[in-house]
């Protein structure tokens, strides 16, 4: 009987191991937000505009975080130009705002922050 090299065994094990929790980025929906709030789950709102340079930098930073294990939170991308009622509810005057919630409790709010360390820390505040 031949033995498989340890590296091959480890690779196969990783392929079939359950995925670690990581940041999930989804388009905003009222249902997704209501569900997260009702469950007391961590959720973040990214008030985003297509024309916003800050928003684009924030998006790059968030996308890079998707592969980080242990960042078990959903980021809902809110269309700043369309979701007027939500902007009023959360008092968001400009795009590039990130609000982090645990259930209905606001844990962090960042205005135009693009530093990945600060964005990550805000997301972790709800975990």
12 pLDDT exceeds 90? no
pLDDT of residue 21: 72
Angle at CA 90, nearest 5°, toward 35 and 44? 50
Question: CA-CA distances (angstroms) from residue 93 to 48, 72, 79, 97, 111?
Answer: 12, 28, 13, 9, 10
More confident residue, 116 or 13: 116
Give the position of tokens 């979701």: 83
- The distance in angstroms from the start CA to the end CA of the chain is 48
Global pTM exceeds 0.85: no
Q: Once rounded to an integer, what is the mean pLDDT over residues 17-37?
A: 84
Residue 92 CA, distance from chain mean position: 18
Cα–Cα nearest to 35, from 104, 127, 105, 126: 104
Helix (H) or strand (E) holding 60: helix 53-65
pLDDT, tens digit, 9 for 90 and up, residues 66-110: 989 889 999 999 999 999 999 999 999 999 999 999 999 999 999
What the chain holds in terms of domains, given with CATH numbers, is: 21-124 (3.40.30.10)
Distance CA 31, CA 35 (A): 6
Distance CA 37, CA 89 (A): 14
* Mean pLDDT taken over the chain: 87
């Amino acid at each position: 009987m031949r033995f498989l090299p340890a590296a091959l065994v480890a690779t196969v094990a990783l392929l079939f191991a359950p995925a670690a929790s990581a940041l999930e980025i989804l388009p905003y929906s009222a249902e997704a937000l209501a569900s997260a709030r009702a469950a007391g789950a961590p959720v973040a709102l990214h008030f985003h505009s297509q024309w916003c340079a800050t928003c684009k930098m924030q998006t790059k930073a968030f996308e890079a975080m998707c592969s980080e294990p242990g960042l078990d939170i959903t980021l809902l991308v809110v269309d700043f130009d369309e979701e007027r009622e939500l902007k009023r509810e959360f008092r968001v005057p400009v795009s590039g705002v990130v609000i982090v919630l645990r259930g209905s409790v606001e844990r962090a709010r960042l205005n135009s922050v693009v530093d990945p360390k600060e964005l990550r820390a805000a997301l972790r505040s709800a975990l």
